[in-house]
Structure 1
């Protein structure tokens, strides 16, 4: 018996505004993402990729259609239940790092566990483990100003990992980095994916998307085509990604 897909989008539409000013950002998106995938989402401005990412991250809900996460219809959950799903299963990485400037790398990574009310000893141990995962344990006491851009993004990735998520959602994670640092971050994401974490990334850079197993191209609010990353080590199986 085949494993249940991690994520299923069926006929997802999203309309912003109403009346003559209404804008349909998504026009019936169908997409399946299996456990352990590394998916890059690409498309021109206004194609719907960011709206889809917000729905996948439970930051927004579709106007119509079904969004299933681990078999649960997310659109049927209330705000508190969606928030719990985000905290338990999802980790977020952003282009701008979003680190607190006056706190150490370790303290930045601890933040999600602080919000969950975990004891200090538990937070510290988990944060150090996450920093070790991204190769930054020796820099635990450094503030963001004492770290390079690539190191800051690694801290941001460690912060996303500290709560042991099923899915890492990365929104333009290399957008503020030079080419060399960008490749380092993509190699790290690929390693985390090989360790079992599902990675879903929005990017406008074809070179970065090539690291993914699967590239999903959006156009005009729909999935336009799906292809395999040129640096992928695994083929796409069937229609599911």
Structure 2
């Protein structure tokens, strides 16, 4: 990939659900470029298209029209299996609801993406332990989600997202279920991955104070980019 080229480029992206009179256009021609290592917060009211565009960026959905380039590859032209490989090898996901397996230890939860990639047990264990250490959970490997606080569960979820060393971390309302103090701890952790490891972070949030951790804030309204600005007051 050309060093000056963006990691991600969306051009003329539209997304329409339904047909005929029931058709709803969720995205109405999105143009967006994201550079390697950026921390971008995506904001907007309910129904603005922010979640739809994140699903497309995460290869969980496909656009109706337009182009999505990832490292110069046209993602919209890939097959379902090829998109799954892109997700598995380049993307990490953090969700509001943690999405941890309840009866499974923290270590085993973090190992899951590596199991899907077919990595041997010894390297899986080592990588998962390292990821848990990176999120401040050294010594908590054998605890199940029910034995952890909400903040600790989200740290496990973040460790699971970074254990594959992804190019991009996609976070959907990562602090939505957390109190203010814990939210700030989680945001500082996510921010550190962008600053220290060069991971590109794309985060959907409705909380302005959480968006302040990002270097750039993109605001969606009615399926379009309403504003795209560099954040001068990073928390």
**Aligned mates of 1:5, 1:198 — CA distance in 2:** 11
- Could you tell me which of 204, 207, 214 is aligned with 2:206? 204
- 1:225 is matched with 227
- 1:106 is matched with 107
Residues 154-204 of structure 1 show CA distances to partners (whole Å, capped at 9, x for unaligned) of 000000011110000000000000000000000001101112100000000
TM-score normalised by L of structure 2: 0.97
- 1:59 is matched with 60
Contact kept in structure 2, 1:211 and 1:230, CA below 8 Å: no
- 1:214 is matched with 216
Residues 85-140 of structure 1 show CA distances to partners (whole Å, capped at 9, x for unaligned) of 00000000000000111111101000111122211101100100111111112111
Return the offset for 1:15.
Answer: 0.3
- 1:148 is matched with 149
**Aligned mates of 1:108, 1:80 — CA distance in 2:** 24
Return the offset for 1:145.
Answer: 1.1
Return the offset for 1:229.
Answer: 2.7
Q: Secondary structure at the match of 2:139?
A: helix
Return the offset for 1:217.
Answer: 0.2
**Aligned mates of 2:13, 2:200 — CA distance in 1:** 21
Return the offset for 1:230.
Answer: 4.7
**Aligned mates of 2:222, 2:155 — CA distance in 1:** 33
Contact kept in structure 2, 1:212 and 1:231, CA below 8 Å: no
Task: Map 1:159-198; keep pairs closer than 5 Å.
Answer: 159-194=160-195, 195-198=197-200
TM-score normalised by L of structure 1: 0.94
Return the offset for 1:232.
Answer: 2.5
**Aligned mates of 1:230, 1:156 — CA distance in 2:** 29
